[in-house]
Amino acid sequence: MRALNLVTLLLIIVGGINWLLVGIADFDLVAALFGGQQAVLSKIVYVLVGLSALYQLVPFSKALSIGEPMAEGRVVR
């Protein structure tokens, strides 16, 4: 579960950096790396980033309900 969490966080970071580049420089890094927005590999990356964001809603909602330190596995006293 920890590995899946790290992979999804990495994909969300990739997606965030990609959107930053699109917003600032009108440059889609994923499309540039994988052959355009319509390329199969680009679409796979876009879908994986989106699924990663959905997956991360679970730990996010847990953090909101029980408090961030508990959700991270650390108890602060």
Q: Where do runs of H (alpha helix) occur along the chain?
A: 2-25, 29-34, 40-66, 68-71
Provide the whole-model pTM.
0.79
**Predicted pLDDT of residue 9:** 94
Cβ count within 10 A of residue 49: 20
**Predicted pLDDT of residue 48:** 97
pLDDT in tens, the chain (77 residues): 789 999 999 999 999 999 999 999 999 999 999 999 999 999 999 999 999 999 999 888 887 888 665 555 655 55
Rounded to 5°, the CA angle 33-5-15 comes to 30
